[in-house]
Amino acid sequence: MKKIKSGMLFLAVLLLSTTLKAQTIDQAKSLLYFEKYKSAKLGFEKLVAANANDVDAVYWLGQTMIMPDDKTAKDVANAKALYQKTLMANSNSALLLAGIGHIELLEGKSQEARNHFETAISLSQGKIVSVLNAVGFANVNAKEGDAAYAVEKLKLATSIKKMTDPDVFVNLGDAYKKMGDGGQAQLAYEAALALNPKYARASYRIGKIYQTQGGTQEEIYMKYYNEAIAKDPAYAPVYENLYNLYYTTDVPKSAQYLEKFLANTDDNPKNCYLRASILYAQALFAEAVKKADECIGANPTPYPKLYGIKAYAYNKLKDSVNAKASFEKYFQMADTSLIGMGDYSTYASVLLKFPGNDSIAGNFIDKAVALDTLEANKVTYLKTIALSYEGQKKYKEAADWYNKVVSIKRAPGKVDLYNTGFNYFRSGNYTTAITIFNIYSQKFPEDAFGYYMSGKSKWGIDSLMTQASANPDFEKTIAVGMVDSVKYKPQVIGSYKYFVAYYANVKKDNAKAIEYCDKILALDPTDADALNNKTALQAPAPKQTRPAATKPAGTTKPAAVPKKN
C-alpha cells in the first residue's frame, strides 16, 4: 500500500469540506427558493454556528430575516446587527457590504445604500455574480430601491462568463417589472427558463405579469401558473398566490389552493391565521373567531393578524365593542408593516359607531389613504368620514373631507364638487363655497348649478343685496338655465326670486320686480311666492308689503342636485 503524503491528505480533506459546505449552502438556498424561510433560517444558523465568519452563510441568514413580506422592524434590526458584527472581522466582504446596503434601503437610507453597493462592486471588481445579484435583488425588493440601477447591475452579472444561475435572470425580470416594462421582464424570465427549464419561479413570474393586467388575461396567467406547478408541484408560492387571487371571488377554489400551499410550506403561526382567514372568507364569522382564539391560545407569540381576523369577524357579526377591542389589540401587537389600508379604514368605520371618535377615525382614514394606490379606494375611505360628519350636521367638517376627495381625484366630477361646495355653503363658509362653485362652473360651463350656488353664496355674504355681488351669477344662471328650462327650472326660478327681492327692496323698482314675478309664473303658474309678491307689489304704496324672497335658503337643499357622474 502506498503511503499518502500528509499534504495531499490535507488537500483532500479541504476539498471534501468545501464540497460539503457548498452542498449545505445550496440546500439551504433551495429552501429560500421555495420561500420556506423558517427552514432556510435553521439551515443557515447551523452553518453560522459552525463558523461565525462564514460570510456566505451570514449573508443568507440575514436574507431569511428580511425576505418575508411580513417582516418586522425587529427582523430588519436583527439582520443589520448580524451583518455589522460579521463585518467587524470581514471588512472587505463584498457580499456583506451588499447586505448592509439592502438593510439601508429598507431603512430609507438610499444614498448610504448606494455607497455600500458601489463599494461592494468595486471590491469584487464587478466580476462576482453573487455580489451583483445581491445588489440587484436589494434594489428590486426594497421600496426605496432603484429599479434602473438593478437592471444595470443584473445585466452586468448575466454577461459574466459561465453565468449559469437562473435566479439572476428572474431578478432582472423583476427589476424590469418594477420599471413597468413587462415585455423585457418576460424576456428575462424566459432566459432563466433557457438555463433551467424546470425553474418554476420563472414561469410563475411570467404569470404575475399577466395577472397584473386584469381579469381579461386569466387564461394566459393561469397557463403559466399551471406550467409552474407542472415543473415543480412543491413550489408553494404559486399556490399562495392563487389562494389570494380567488379569496374574494371564488372561496371554494381559494380554499383548495390554500390546502396545497399549507402542504408545501413551513409550519409556522401564520398558517393558523390563514385557516382562520379562509373561514372568514366563507362568511363563517363565529367560526373564524373561534379558530383565531384557538390559534392564539396555542402559541405564546401568536401571529398578530389573528387579532385582525377577529376584529373583521366581530364587525361582520355587528359586535362593535369586540371589533373595536380586537382592532386595538391588533394595532398594539402588529408591526406597522403588517397593517394595511383596509385595516385602518375598517377600524375607522368601527370607531365612528362610538360618539366622540370622529377625529381619531379621521386619522386612521388618512393613514388608509396614504397607503392605498387606487383612487377609487381612497375616495371610498374619505367619503366614509365625510358622510359621518354630514349625518351629524357638522357641515364644515363634512365639507373639509369632501374637499379631500376633490384633491385626490384626477378628474373630480359634479357630485364631488357639489358635496364639497354645498356643505361649505350650509355651514356658512360662503367664501370657500364660492371658490368651489367657481371651479364647478369652470369645469362645467354649460351647467347652471355652479353659477346658481355661487350666487347664493354671495347672497349669503351680501344678505341685504346692497353690493349686488350676486347679480352676475344669477344672471348667468338664467342665461345658461333657460337653454333647458325644464332641467334647470328650480335654479332659474330661484334666480328670478332673487331679482324680485333685489328690484323691490334695493332698487325700489316695482315694475321690474313684477316683471320677474311674471317670469316665474311663466315657468310655474302655481308658485305661491310669485303670486303673493306680485299681488303685494301691485297694491297701493301705503299697503305694499315686503316680498318674501329676501335671503338665500341656506339650510334648504336645492331641488335639483347634479346627477352622479
CA–CA dist 353, 361 (Å, integer): 10
In a domain, 118, yes or no: no
Domain containing 510 equals: 440-543
Q: Tell me, what's the pLDDT at 558?
A: 42
Dihedral angle of Cα 459, 464, 468, 474, to the nearest 10 degrees: 40
pLDDT at res. 215:
67
| Closest residue by Cα to residue 494 from 540, 534, 549, 542 | 549
| pLDDT tens profile 306-317 | 999 999 999 999
Q: Is residue 528 part of a domain?
A: yes
* Residue 73 resides in a domain: no
Residue 563 is given by DSSP the state: P
User: Tell me, what's the pLDDT at 71?
Assistant: 82
Q: Is the pLDDT of residue 512 over 90?
A: yes
pLDDT at 97 exceeding the cut of 90: yes
Nearest to 182 by CA among 157, 213, 138: 213
**By C-alpha distance, which of 188, 162, 164 is closest to 175?**
188
Q: E strands within 340-422?
A: none
452 domain residue, yes or no: yes
Pairwise CA distance, residues 146 & 140, whole Å: 7
pLDDT for residue 543: 52
**In the predicted model, is pLDDT for residue 9 greater than 50?**
no
CB atoms within 10 A of CB 1: 3
pLDDT of residue 301: 87
Residue 462 counted as domain residue: yes
> pTM value?
0.72
- Please check the confidence at residue 541 and state whether its pLDDT lies above 80: no
- pLDDT value, residue 213: 86
445 lies in some domain: yes
CATH code of residue 506: 1.25.40.10
Residue 22 has pLDDT above 80, yes or no: no
Q: What is the mean pLDDT of residues 547-561?
A: 48
Is residue 493 predicted with pLDDT exceeding 60?
A: yes
The reply to whether 448 falls in a domain is yes
Check if the beta carbon of residue 399 is closer than 8 Å to that of residue 427: yes
Provide the domain count of the chain.
Answer: 1
Whether 501 maps to a domain, the answer reads yes
